[in-house]
Amino acid sequence: MANHQTDEQKIIQVVKSLFKNPCTFVAGAQNVERIPQYPFPEVAFWGRSNVGKSSLLNGLIGTTVARTSNTPGRTQQLNFFNLADRLILVDMPGYGFANVPLKIKYSWEELIAAYLEARDQLKCLYLLIDARHGFKDNDIEMMNYLNQIGCIYQVVVTKADKISLAAHPKLKEAMEETLKSHGAALPSVILTSAERKQGMHELQQSIAKVL
């Protein structure tokens, strides 16, 4: 029990010291050759187009670091953000946006595969799922891919404010049941709302464990 309490206290201290610092954009990579190298651990954020990645990142940091848009497919490169010279946050292009030209779609796939399959600094991928839709076919496809390459990922539900509070436990339970058949997935699900700041502290604690 004492060790458990000590670990929790350490995580709380990391959260307090880490997320009070400025977070700055440091690089963007549109192709494999431009993926930068840093001596810090990384966490990345991925999900369907328009799932709310940029809003989540801004809510997580507490200030605007990623540009938000109502237009799906706005993030067209790997965007790297430096948090206090201790952690790199990576905003990845979304998947499942049908209106992207095939040439661009294939270049994104090559970029993402190169990053996910060979990035030693990547400690955890945060896979974002829209609360209104749950797991869709392309989410499951990406989860199977992450299982295959052995990339550890944490499912984060976005836009939880768009469904009723009464629906939260049922959604969480159903999604965690699905995750039991996905070997690279962490077993729990984090419910968040960038608009209402819901789940941000839990997400910060999850990231703090990386350090």
> Which pLDDT score, from 0 to 100, does residue 4 have?
56
Q: Which long-range contacts (CB under 8 A, 24 or more apart) does 57-64 make?
A: 57/81, 57/89, 57/91, 58/194, 59/192, 59/194, 59/197, 59/200, 60/19, 60/200, 60/203, 60/204, 60/207, 61/19, 61/23, 61/89, 62/19, 63/22, 63/23
Binning pLDDT at 50, 70 and 90, where does residue 1 land? very low
Q: What percent of the chain has pLDDT over 70?
A: 88
CATH for 2-208, options being 3.40.50.80, 3.40.50.300, 1.10.3720.10, 3.40.640.10? 3.40.50.300
Domain range annotation of the chain:
2-208
When comparing pLDDT for 144 and 54, which is higher?
A: 144
For 129-142, what is the mean pLDDT?
A: 96
User: Considering the chain, what is the average pLDDT of its residues?
Assistant: 89
